[in-house]
Amino acid sequence: GAVVSQHPSWVICKSGTSVKIECRSLDFQATTMFWYRQFPKQSLMLMATSNEGSKATYEQGVEKDKFLINHASLTLSTLTVTSAHPEDSSFYICSAGRAGYEQYFGPGTRLTVT
């Protein structure tokens, strides 16, 4: 099956700093990548959809200036949490998909902001 990786798997940063999370599709080209956020004991909430070479589409209530998404190639999307605050601490999960195929999920990145 298709493999999606995320890096780092966990990160601790200080309040006010920025953190970049990478999502890579390892053995296929993803036309679309999705970024989700998951709080403890809760389900996944879609944050944004990114397509290679175009601007990401953000879900209602997600600050696009705070969560910067770049989809530079068909195998890489990055999520940068800018000026992180403790309330941004969460489990961030990406998925990669191709038209007509299922989405493949990454293993997630746990962000802790102190």
Partner 1 sequence: TQLLEQSPQFLSIQEGENLTVYCNSSSVFSSLQWYRQEPGEGPVLLVTVVTGGEVKKLKRLTFQFGDARKDSSLHITAAQPGDTGLYLCAGPANFGNEKLTFGTGTRLTIIP
Using CB under 8 A as the criterion, which residues of the chain lie in contact with partner 1 when the complex forms?
4, 6, 32, 34, 36, 41-46, 49, 91, 93, 95, 97, 99, 102-103, 105-108, 110
Q: Which phi and psi (to 5°) does residue 15 adopt?
A: -55, 135
Q: Residue 110, class by beta-carbon neighbours within 10 Å (0-12 exposed, 13-18 middle, 19+ buried)?
A: middle
* Residue placing its CB nearer to partner 1 in the complex, 16 or 107: 107
- Minimum CB separation from partner 1 for residue 61, in Å? 12
* Residue placing its CB nearer to partner 1 in the complex, 33 or 81: 33
- Minimum CB separation from partner 1 for residue 83, in Å? 26
- Minimum CB separation from partner 1 for residue 57, in Å? 9
Query: How far apart are the C-alpha atoms of 74 and 19, rounded to whole Å?
Result: 22
* Neighbour order of strands in the sheet with 67-73: 4-7, 19-25, 76-81, 67-73
